[in-house]
Amino acid sequence: MLKPDQKLVIHFFEQIVQGTYGKMGHAVLRYSRNPVACAVDFNHKGSTTRDLLDFGPDVPVLGSVAEAADAGGEVLVLGMAPSGGRLPPEMIAEVDKAVAAGMSVINGLHEHLGPRYPELSPGQWIWDIRQEPQDLGIAWARAAGLQNRRALLVGTDMAVGKMTAGLEIWKSALDEGVRADFLATGQVGILVSGKGIPLDAIRVDYACGAVEKMVMEAGDADLAIVEGQGSIVHPGSTSTLPLMRGSCPTHLVLCHRAGMTHLDTVGEPVAVPPLNDIIALYEDIASACGTFARPVTVGIAVNTAHLDADEAARATATIQDETGRLTVDPVRDGAKDLVQALMSD
């Protein structure tokens, strides 16, 4: 599988500057410990990633897999998230070219690519991240018996920064000397951290059990940071309850995009409730009328990536004033305050 010195090629197809659709590649640029040889985007050939984005290494944006192979790329990362997780024909053709050029492939989509390439060269591989782990069972609330702190990232919507906030909290916790572990539950977090479970690829009967198994295996960590998925107020999201029941969280961090009044990921208008009401709802569901311990929401991680510095500062201050809760953008401001809140109560 992936070695730490292998050079990555992040293929965005036509979506390098589109945050939601390119989030897999954006996270690799921001957090991967592997070197990145280049990015590929059909519409932005000749630019660099720093010309188009304000984070990560500054690498060339090329127009084809053939150019990426010439640039020393060894592993193709599918960096986009097409609707339904299905690759259109032109994207499959690009993967074909990468495999023919000797590249390995990291695929975080629901559509598995391994069966398409039954014969690979020695050392070449296809990593289809979204595969259900083996030997799963149902959950029994065993995580409630652990003595550590278990922080679950929850959100007002999908794609508001739960994974990013979790990774920033993890990084800050390690910097502060906290024995912390990041428990990935999606394809991006798994790729960045090297472990975890693809929650949306696990059958519903085993989803809680898969989360519980992962949390129990991290029982020695003083702070287990559980990557959130979806949103309790999103009509298409089914992942909140398995995360809560499997992790039995002691703490929550609410993630929200500044200025968002309606869900961004729903075709029909769905209003975002007041943030303190959402927090109360998450805590109520986690505690299940007192069946489980009620978690403490230590603060709000606000996503201000679409705002300039002054606008971001005003938006963060407004949310903190309106909710009376610690509010930070962990990317702009760092997550030290959130870590201190998680470890202090």
pLDDT-derived band at 146 (thresholds 50, 70, 90) equals very high
Average pLDDT over residues 283-295: 97
Write down the pLDDT at residue 264: 85
Considering just the CA atoms, what is the radius of gyration of the chain in Å?
20
Write down the pLDDT at residue 91: 86
Write down the pLDDT at residue 88: 78
Cα dist from 140 to 216, 219, 227, whole Å:
11, 15, 20
- Assess whether pLDDT exceeds 80 at residue 83: no
What is the Cα–Cα distance from 217 to 213, expressed in whole angstroms? 6
pLDDT-derived band at 81 (thresholds 50, 70, 90) equals confident
What is the Cα–Cα distance from 102 to 214, expressed in whole angstroms? 34
CB within 8 Å of 6: residues ≥ 6 apart: 34, 35, 74, 75, 104
- Assess whether pLDDT exceeds 90 at residue 89: no
What is the Cα–Cα distance from 323 to 188, expressed in whole angstroms? 30
Assess contact for 87 and 95: CB atoms under 8 A: yes
Structural domains for the chain: 8-128 (3.40.50.720), 142-344 (3.40.50.300)
The CA-CA-CA angle for residues 57, 63, 66, to 5°, reads 100
When comparing pLDDT for 180 and 22, which is higher? Answer: 180
Q: Tell me: the pLDDT tens digits for 209-252? A: 999 999 999 999 999 999 999 999 999 999 999 999 999 999 99
Which segment of 86-100, 240-254, 306-320 scores lowest on mean pLDDT? Answer: 86-100
Write down the pLDDT at residue 328: 98
pLDDT-derived band at 59 (thresholds 50, 70, 90) equals very high
Question: How many CB atoms are closer than 10 A to CB 32?
Answer: 19
Write down the pLDDT at residue 1: 83
What is the Cα–Cα distance from 290 to 141, expressed in whole angstroms? 14
Whole-structure pTM value? 0.93
- Helix/strand/coil for 275: helix
Write down the pLDDT at residue 246: 98
And the tokens for 203? 């059958």
Average pLDDT over residues 198-206: 95
Write down the pLDDT at residue 54: 85
Write down the pLDDT at residue 344: 93
Write down the pLDDT at residue 12: 92
- Assess whether pLDDT exceeds 70 at residue 84: no
Which segment of 49-58, 76-85, 99-108, 154-163 scores lowest on mean pLDDT? Answer: 76-85
Alpha carbons within 13 angstroms on the beta-carbon side of residue 117 total: 22
Question: How many CB atoms are closer than 10 A to CB 310?
Answer: 8
Average pLDDT over residues 16-29: 82
What is the Cα–Cα distance from 159 to 265, expressed in whole angstroms? 8
- Assess whether pLDDT exceeds 70 at residue 31: yes
- Assess whether pLDDT exceeds 70 at residue 104: yes
Assess contact for 143 and 246: CB atoms under 8 A: yes
Write down the pLDDT at residue 123: 95
